[in-house]
Amino acid sequence: MLPRDAGIYLDNAATTRPDPAALEAARAFEDAHFGNPSSLHGPGVAAAREVERARQAVADALGAAPDEIVFTSGGTESNNLALKGAAPPRGGHVVVSSIEHPSVLRTADALRRRGVKVTVVGVDRRGVVSPAAVAAALTPRTVLVSVMHANNETGTIEPVAEIGRLCRERGVLFHTDACQSFTRAPLDAGSGAFDLISVNAHKIHGPKGVGALYVRRGTGLAPLLDGGGHERGLRSGTLNAPGIVGFGAAVRLARDASPYETQRLRDRLLVLLRRGIPGLRLNGPEDARLCGHLSVTLPRGDAKELAQALSARGVFVSTGSACAAGKTAPSHVLLALGLTPAQAGRTLRLTLSRMTTRAEVDAAAAALVELAGSVHA
């Protein structure tokens, strides 16, 4: 693990620093229970027991039953399984929002190529998806709606429970990508508003390469992979059991933590930046956002150059989604909020976690204010 003094990490929306306890749980499991969880002998049964304990932890955090949790390799696979598994081989209609993660938007593109009609619903200037707009997009052919719980760039929390209820009334499946919000914002699978929910481990201080899809009982879903019929036939392949155990440990640790200190530090960071950088713009709502997310647009300069300058000082931030790294086009999320390409090019994403300290926030703010002040129009 990166030493605490190696820098100030404010890119937790991309991935989080693994909790040592979660890593140790995965390592200890691999040492003690190396058997295949699908095997019927002693080592296999012991491994399966630990996998089911982790499944229970994920289910409890979502308000679901354990048999409604399907383990995957992460959020991207969960989103693919939800959309491709729920849509018919051809035909039908799917609705997504304009601010979804690329693993949803590009999956929707793949569905469109196989003959599924796709409607993309926009957002307001705060980045909020209107339930009325979703309702207006539904047709008799609509099979699925997908709207993320919280946006990965702005942290905006969407009215997914309301959207899910209106989909239920119309007999349409509802999926939400909750990878950013899992354990950080309330989400109740047992409310009846959700059919499919994607979550993953590395956004909550767990290991990379493991996630899960909540599949409500009775929801018809076609698997992406053919094979041995693991995970109730929905996800064939030998389970990443150590990662799953680490995921379960991370979930338990996250549920024991309070988001309020992270929110307090996020608000402090915003105050310091607004005080030091006149004309700074906050993207998204002031209140209905994840506890650790800030998306800010500077009045001048270039966000990529500023991020590189901050990195040279040991302050690590991003200009947008890590899953779109290397792209020269402006963020589709920021454009959907009404920002111009030039404004999007001046936007930084600063994301905190429960491991972020006040000293780190103060030092990061001072460095950003100094560097931003040295940039001329």
User: What is the predicted pLDDT for the residue at 377?
Assistant: 41
Comma-separated ranges of CATH 3.90.1150.10 domains in the chain: 4-18+258-373
The pLDDT-based confidence of 376 (bands split at 50, 70, 90) is: very low
User: What is the predicted pLDDT for the residue at 35?
Assistant: 75
Give the CATH fold of the 4-18+258-373 domain.
Aspartate Aminotransferase, domain 1 (3.90.1150)
**3-state class of 334 per DSSP?**
helix
Rounded Cα gap, residues 348 and 332, in angstroms:
14
Comma-separated ranges of CATH 3.40.640.10 domains in the chain: 20-255
Which of 134, 141, 137, 143 shows the shortest CA–CA distance to 86?
143
User: What is the predicted pLDDT for the residue at 273?
Assistant: 98
Active site residues: 323
Kindly state the average pLDDT of the residues 299-308: 96
User: What is the predicted pLDDT for the residue at 327?
Assistant: 58
Q: What is the pLDDT of residues 16-59, one digit of tens each?
A: 999 999 999 999 998 888 877 887 788 788 888 999 999 999 99
Q: What is the pLDDT of residues 97-147, one digit of tens each?
A: 999 999 999 999 999 999 999 999 999 999 999 999 999 999 999 999 999
Contacts of 331 (CB under 8 A, 6+ apart): 153, 319, 320, 321, 324, 344, 347
Mean pLDDT of the chain: 93
Classify domain 20-255 by CATH architecture. Answer: 3-Layer(aba) Sandwich (3.40)
Q: Are 269 and 350 in contact (CB under 8 A)?
A: yes
**Residue 2 in this model has a pLDDT that exceeds 80:** no
